[in-house]
A = this chain, B = another copy of it.
């Protein structure tokens, strides 16, 4: 299943990063947000060709999480890859002080 489309539509409707961020803070637990954040950082670092053991050490996660990220990146035609290979990916790492 199922209603993922519904959820995706909600995020799409919200449009601004600030509103989406607030919704995520309401919907997810702190633990889940951490997990999600790490998950994305793993993908980003993997895409930058950092060694898997280095990623695990730097982000303080286990190798199984890194391997899982690796599997995601092996798929072709993914949104993940498309996004990471775009210029936006690096913008996000700089973390400018927009607030």
Contacts and interface: CB of A to CB of B under 8 A. Distances in A.
A10 B72 contact: no
Interface residues of A, number: 45
Say whether chain A's binding surface is mostly helix, strand, loop, or mixed. Answer: helix
Interface string A4-29: 11111111111111111111111100
A39 B26 CA distance: 11
Contacts of A3: 37, 40-41, 92, 95
A82 to B, nearest CB: 9
Contact of A37 (B1, B18, B34, B40): B1
A79 interface: yes
A80 interface: yes
9 contacts: A2-B33, A4-B25, A4-B37, A5-B95, A10-B40, A13-B83, A23-B79, A23-B83, A26-B75
